Amino acid sequence: MSSREVLYTPFMNRAAFALQTGTVPAEPELVSSSPRSLARAVDDWNALRGRAEHVVAEANAMLPASMPPVALCDEVGELAFTVLHGNLVVRVSLARSGAEGWVELERSWAAEDGVEPGEPSVMEDLVLRLIER
């Protein structure tokens, strides 16, 4: 087993491979946003925010010093965050209507409405897409 396999997480190895080869990951698994209880929607958003923080830290650890870091910014006044690299942006927000809520995903390079990540691990593919573009 190499030291790289011991020291780096599987995502860190994916990021290093993508940077070395220029390999772009498959389109992330997005699903239609659907209303659910507000508590469940907040929990789903929080899982995505936590995963984003983890993935951004690992991606930045693998970037060469010549590249700008991936940034994670929380928005003020609503449950929303953006992940940025260069001029590319991924935004994940919580929308609500009464006692229901849903997660919404926006990508600066794709026109889509009413979609969200199928699961928190999709944040990995979204960040890889940011650093590969």
Cβ pair 83, 70 in contact under 8 A: yes
With beta carbons less than 8 A apart as the criterion, state whether 127 and 83 touch.
Answer: yes
Span 94-129, pLDDT tens digits? 999 999 999 999 999 988 888 999 999 999 999 999
Instruction: Count up the domains in the chain and report the number.
Output: 1
Q: Can you give the pLDDT at residue 112?
A: 82
- pLDDT tens digits for 12-41? 999 999 999 988 777 888 999 999 999 999
User: Per-residue pLDDT for 5 more than 80?
Assistant: no
Strand ranges for 1-133 from DSSP E:
30-32, 36-37, 71-74, 80-85, 88-97, 100-107, 115-117
User: How confident is the model over 67-99, as pLDDT tens digits?
Assistant: 999 999 999 999 999 999 999 999 999 999 999
Q: Can you give the residue range of the structural domain that contains 39?
A: 3-132
Look up residue 13 and give its DSSP letter: H
The pLDDT score that the predictor gives to residue 33 is: 96
**CA-angle at 90, arms to 121 and 104, nearest 5°:** 75
pLDDT digits (tens, 9 = 90+) for 45-60: 999 999 999 999 999 9
CB neighbour class for 62 (10 Å; exposed up to 12, middle 13-18, buried from 19): buried
